[in-house]
Amino acid sequence: MAYLFPMYDSPLMGSKHVGNFDPVVAKTGLPPGLWIKHLLLWWWAVLDSSEPEIHEKQHCLDNQEDQAQKMMLEYQARKEGEERLRRQKEDKDVQMKGIISRLMAVEDELKKDHSEMQAAVDSKQKIIEAQEKRIVSLDAANARLMRALSQLKERYSMLSRNGISPTNPTKLQITEDGEFRNNSNC
């Protein structure tokens, strides 16, 4: 298509042609209404020829907008996930602090119980030790008494063998050692 305006023959007209508008119209010899009609047709042709490029640019813009929207949604999802994780961590921290404080309270109670039990065990141990000493003392006294009894049996059996009748029994006293002592006034 041949244009009436050779200066505007390129779809990519530059800003240098804008100032030449009036001289161009004067050179064509067309009445202003017809000239405007031709100019509009030319612009329509320019726009029509650049429509695929415009659609392509629009498609690129739409893709970029979709990508930006997708990135924004991913960012928001990640931010929400991080916020959820932060809240969960705070909840876990609060739970752990509660568990730790309960464990410390139980530990304190166990220490107190242990101290009370240890005091009871110590008291029982002192009683056991005192009873063991008493048993040892009683065993020693029993042994002394058994020796003294054996001595008495020997003495009376000797007197019987010799034909002496113990008509005048001697008085025996037990000493502090558990020994028998003869206290006869003969």
Greatest alpha-carbon span in the chain: 189
Contacts of 11 (CB under 8 A, 6+ apart): 46, 49, 50
Residue type, 113: D
Could you state, in order of their start, the residue ranges of all structural domains in the chain? 6-120
Q: Helical H runs in the chain? A: 21-28, 32-161
Q: Which of 44-48, 79-83, 139-143 has the lowest mean pLDDT?
A: 44-48
Q: Are 182 and 172 in contact (CB under 8 A)?
A: yes
Band (pLDDT 50/70/90 cuts) for residue 66 is: very high
38-40-43 Cα angle (round to 5): 110
Q: Dump pLDDT digits (tens) for 91-124.
A: 999 999 999 999 999 999 999 999 999 999 999 9
Judge whether residue 36 has pLDDT over 80: no
Q: Does the CA dihedral 4-6-8-9 come out positive or negative?
A: positive
**Separation CA 99–CA 124 (nearest Å):** 37
Burial class (CB in 10 A: 0-12, 13-18, 19+), 3: middle
Judge whether residue 155 has pLDDT over 60: yes
Q: Which two tokens stand for residue 160?
A: 């019987």
pLDDT of residue 171: 61
**Separation CA 6–CA 24 (nearest Å):** 9
Q: Are 36 and 73 in contact (CB under 8 A)?
A: no
**Separation CA 150–CA 60 (nearest Å):** 127
pTM of the model: 0.39
